[in-house]
């Protein structure tokens, strides 16, 4: 039994969908809110997993794209009266374009240098959100963001909005599933593993690098466009660097480069802290110890751990060349 | 008819050191040209300049009469110029078959069809043929990183041939390959050379391998061509003997 087996993945996927649909039935509004937040953060993490996990381009800019997406959809729906659907598409498009542009530095610098470039970008966006009051209302934030009415279906109630988030998550998952299995996904992985060799095989590394950034960022924008109506109020604080680090944590803990990694990572990051609430002040310590232990035991993340367990012992995955 | 590869007056210097000095040669269709020379004589640098991995300080490279100087490696590859590297360069986390599909996919369709079209870009069959040809059937599903050195070397070569290239530059294909596999590799290379009319340029230290495979040999020393000719001519050239033994 291998995790890469399509049937195993399909069964796991179906099981997951069943649980997700049934999940809010016994929950209070706060619980449903958290589940929705999990879905939103999963989408952002899926985007980062594409850029980082598959294409190997480290980015600390994902929070900035969630922020751009959130502000874009909030401003367009509240100040300009755009329908949510149009604002949603606009948020994704805007992040796609900005993500494409942010990809250019990645053509020159890699690894920790790239991390710093993207870190600077997150800080820059945060400053714009906080200081450009004419556009973003600064630290006062934007309130009165309504949850959308979609083809006569009001998503005002928490459970309805949760299902809406779930539908978007399903769409994003399908798109990503398809993408990572297409030649593009293969080219992304080639970029991660050996860009020089990839280029010698005709892979246009420049174009694929930019695309990896653009698509990953667009998914950050999609998450943001859902975040705004979920919380119904946005200010710059949640889109600071700490969210970027958090999203990075989700990708790494879940299993960077694994399709289901971001879903698990978002559970650890969004839901686990709530479950640890009974420990009062100890929760951050327990949480930190858990993450550290995981990274020591299995640097490939939770799914790396699962794969290690299920893999026949005779075959080693990474032998030295 | 234009030569498949024509290098004219190529220079490459790194700071004050010139690695390649005024190298000119031609390779014609169907030839297997060997390039030999002591370590540090500029063979790999020459390859990297021809293939766009390095920018030559001066000189021109033509493929089929068309100037390709300054083209990116990926553009050159799509013109039918392929290569292997001196050090192993496979994608360790992809399976053997995926490695081969990757090696061919950028030659199929457009960016758009590669996004929305078939996952394997229609190359599974071609990949399987290549797997058969290089006798990698039993490891086709394995991750390339888990293969033995010799198998990875074969995969590396197979990837270079996946897109049916016109010209292939092989950088030490025999390095670290045991004798049985070496004979096998030579036989595969000859077969491809004859069946596909592919033209080869081979850098190699293994004299027995190079002498038996190549139709013509260039000898490089300190960045310059010091001899050229058939294997027999080169073997008996006093300058070549001196360059190798050092006096």
Closest CA to A66 of A84, A48, A86, A87: A48
Rounded-to-integer distance, Cα B9 and Cα B13, Å: 13
Quickly tell me which residue has 């021809």 as its tokens: B50
Q: What is the pLDDT of residue A321?
A: 35
Largest CA distance in chain A: 63
The confidence band for A312, taking pLDDT boundaries of 50, 70 and 90, is low
**At residue B57, does pLDDT exceed 90?**
yes
At B178-205, the pLDDT tens digits run: 888 888 889 989 999 998 889 999 999 8
Confirm or reject contact between B124 and chain A (CB < 8 A). no
Determine the pLDDT at residue A37: 96
Residue B52 above 70 pLDDT? yes
Compute the CA torsion angle A305, A310, A315, A317 (nearest 10 deg): -30
Please name the residue that has the structure tokens 């068309």: B66
Q: Return the closest-CA partner of residue A210 out of A193, A191, A227, A186.
A: A191
CA-based nearest residue in chain B for residue A191: B91
Q: Give the end-to-end CA distance of chain B in Å, rounded to a whole number.
A: 42
Q: Test B77 with A202 for CB contact under 8 angstroms.
A: yes
> Quick one: pLDDT at residue A278?
82
Non-local (6+) Cβ contacts of A205 within 8 A are A191, A195, A198, A199, B74
Higher pLDDT, A291 or B168: B168
Q: Which residues of A touch B82 (CB under 8 A)?
A: 200-201
Show residues of chain B in contact with A196, CB under 8 Å. Answer: 53, 73, 85, 89
B86 — contact with chain A (CB < 8 Å)?
no
Cα–Cα distances (Å) from B52 to A266, B12, B60, in that order, read 43, 12, 11
State chain A's mean pLDDT as an integer.
Answer: 90
Q: Quick one: pLDDT at residue A182?
A: 95
Specify the range with the lowest mean pLDDT, choosing from A142-146, A187-191, B32-36.
Answer: A142-146
How far apart CA B201 and CA B84 sit, in angstroms, is 11
pLDDT digits (tens, 9 = 90+) for B202-238: 999 888 899 999 999 999 999 999 999 999 898 888 8
Domain covering B5-245, topology: Rossmann fold (3.40.50)
The model's confidence at residue A2, banded by pLDDT at 50, 70 and 90, is low
* Inter-chain touch A200–B85, beta carbons under 8 Å: yes
- From B68's Cα to the closest Cα of chain A, the distance in A is 14
Q: Chain A within 8 Å of B171 (Cβ-Cβ)?
A: no
Q: Are A184 and B115 within 8 A, CB to CB? A: yes
Interatomic CA distance for residues B158 and B33, integer angstroms: 19
pLDDT the model gives residue B246: 59
Q: Which of B83, B102, B145 sits opposite A318 (nearest CB)?
A: B145
Residue A315, pLDDT score: 44
Which of the two residues, B40 and A129, has the higher pLDDT score? Answer: A129
Read off the pLDDT of each residue in A265-277 and give the average, rounded to a whole number. 87
Between chains, do B91 and A318 touch, taking CB under 8 Å as contact?
no
First to last CA, chain A: 26
DSSP 3-state of A132: coil
CB pairs < 8 Å spanning A and B: 108
Instruction: Reduce the DSSP state of residue B11 to 3 states and report it.
Output: strand
The 10s digit of each residue's pLDDT in A112-169 is: 899 999 999 999 999 999 999 899 998 899 998 989 888 888 888 999 999 999 999 9
> Contacts of residue A205 in chain B, CB cutoff 8 Å?
74
Going by C-alpha positions, the residue among A5, A21, A24, A62 that lies closest to residue A265 is: A62
Record: contact B105-A186, CB cut-off 8 A: yes
CB contacts of B108 in chain A (<8 Å) are: 183
Mean pLDDT over the full length of chain B: 91
Across residues B96-121, what is the average pLDDT? 92
Task: Spell out the domain ranges in chain B.
Answer: 5-245
| pLDDT the model gives residue B74 | 94
Residue A102 near residue A213 (C-beta atoms within 8 A): yes
Contact in structure between B170 and B83 (CB atoms under 8 Å): yes
pLDDT, position B167:
95
Residues of B in contact with A56 (CB under 8 A): none
Give contacts of B 14-53 with A, CB under 8 A: 51, 53
Beta strands at A153-154 and B17-27: parallel, antiparallel or unpaired: unpaired
A53 CB neighbours in chain B (<8 A) are none
Q: Residue A317 has what pLDDT?
A: 41
pLDDT band at A106 (very low <50, low <70, confident <90, very high): confident
pLDDT higher at A282 or A166: A166
Band of residue A318 on the pLDDT scale cut at 50, 70, 90: very low
Mean pLDDT within A82-102 = 96
Task: Please give the residue of chain A at the shortest CA–CA distance from B109.
Answer: A183
Which one of A181, A193, A196 has the shortest CB-CB distance to B93?
A: A193
The edge-to-edge listing of strands for the beta sheet with B58-63 is: B17-27, B5-14, B58-63, B66-67
Cβ distance A183 to B119 less than 8 Å, yes or no, reads yes
Average pLDDT over residues B71-81: 93
Structure tokens at B231: 């294997």
Taking residues A37-63, what's their average pLDDT? 96
Instruction: Check residue A274 and give its pLDDT.
Output: 83
Which of B83, B98, B146 is facing A319, going by the closest CB pair?
B146
More confident of the two residues A42 and B149: A42
pLDDT attached to residue B243: 80
Task: State percent of chain A over pLDDT 70.
Answer: 95
Q: Taking 50 as the threshold, does the pLDDT of residue A314 lie above it?
A: no
Strands B167-171, B81-84: parallel, antiparallel or unpaired by DSSP?
A: parallel
Residue B236 has a CB neighbour count (10 Å cut-off) of 10
Q: Which residues of A touch B (CB under 8 A)?
A: 179, 181-184, 186-187, 189-190, 193-194, 196-207, 257, 315-319, 321
Residue range A263-286: average pLDDT? 86
Residue B114 CB: number of other CB atoms within 10 A? Answer: 19
pLDDT band at B245 (very low <50, low <70, confident <90, very high): low
Q: Give the whole-angstrom CA distance, residue A184 versus residue A92.
A: 20
């Amino acid at each position: 039994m291998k995790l890469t087996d399509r049937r195993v993945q399909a069964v796991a996927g179906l099981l997951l969908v069943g649980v997700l649909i049934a999940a809010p039935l016994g929950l209070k509004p706060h619980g449903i809110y958290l589940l929705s937040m999990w879905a939103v953060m999963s989408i952002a993490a899926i985007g980062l997993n594409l850029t980082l996990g598959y294409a190997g381009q480290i980015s600390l800019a994902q929070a900035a794209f969630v922020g751009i997406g959130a502000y874009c959809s909030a401003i367009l729906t509240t100040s300009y009266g755009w329908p949510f659907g149009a604002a949603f598409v606009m948020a994704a498009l805007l992040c796609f374009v900005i993500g494409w542009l942010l990809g250019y530095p990645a053509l020159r610098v890699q690894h920790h240098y790239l991390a710093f470039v993207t870190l600077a970008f997150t800080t820059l966006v945060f400053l714009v959100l906080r200081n450009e009051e004419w556009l973003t209302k600064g630290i006062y934030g934007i309130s009165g963001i309504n949850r959308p009415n979609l083809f006569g279906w009001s998503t005002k109630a928490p459970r309805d909005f949760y299902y809406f988030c779930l539908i978007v998550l399903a769409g994003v998952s399908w798109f990503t599933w398809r993408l990572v299995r297409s030649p593009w996904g293969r080219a992304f992985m080639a970029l991660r593993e050996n860009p020089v060799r990839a280029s010698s095989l005709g892979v246009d590394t420049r174009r694929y690098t930019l695309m990896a950034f653009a698509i990953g960022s667009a998914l950050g924008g999609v998450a943001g466009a859902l975040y705004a109506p979920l919380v119904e109020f946005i200010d710059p604080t949640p889109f600071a660097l700490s969210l970027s680090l958090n999203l990075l944590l989700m990708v790494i803990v879940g299993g960077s480069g694994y399709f289901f990694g971001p879903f698990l990572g978002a559970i650890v990051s969004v839901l686990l802290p709530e479950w640890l609430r009974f420990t009062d002040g100890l929760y951050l310590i327990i949480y930190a110890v858990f993450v550290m232990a995981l990274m020591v035991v299995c640097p490939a993340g939770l799914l790396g751990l699962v794969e290690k367990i299920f893999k026949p012992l005779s075959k080693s995955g990474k032998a030295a060349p | 008819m234009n030569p498949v590869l024509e290098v004219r007056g190529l220079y490459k210097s790194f700071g004050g050191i010139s690695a390649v000095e005024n190298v000119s040669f031609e390779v014609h269709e169907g030839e297997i040209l060997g390039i030999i020379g002591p370590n540090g004589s500029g063979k790999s640098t020459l390859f990297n300049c021809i293939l766009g991995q390095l920018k030559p300080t001066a000189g021109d490279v033509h493929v089929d009469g068309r100037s390709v100087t300054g083209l990116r490696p990926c553009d050159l590859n799509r013109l039918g110029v392929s290569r292997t590297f001196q050090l192993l360069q496979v994608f360790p986390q992809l399976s053997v078959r995926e490695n081969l599909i990757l090696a061919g996919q950028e030659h199929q369709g457009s960016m758009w069809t590669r996004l929305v079209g078939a996952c394997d870009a229609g190359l599974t069959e071609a990949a399987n043929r290549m797997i058969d040809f290089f006798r990698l059937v039993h490891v086709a599903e394995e991750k390339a990183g888990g293969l033995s050195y010799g198998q990875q070397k074969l995969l590396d070569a197979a990837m270079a041939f996946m897109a049916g290239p016109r010209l292939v530059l092989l950088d030490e294909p025999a390095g670290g390959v045991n004798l049985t596999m070496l004979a096998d590799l030579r036989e595969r290379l000859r077969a491809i050379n004859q069946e596909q009319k592919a033209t080869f340029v081979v850098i190699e230290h293994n004299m027995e391998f190079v002498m038996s495979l190549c139709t013509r040999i260039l000898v490089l020393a300190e960045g310059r061509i010091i001899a050229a000719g058939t294997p027999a001519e080169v073997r008996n050239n006093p300058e070549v003997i001196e360059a190798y033994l050092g006096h």
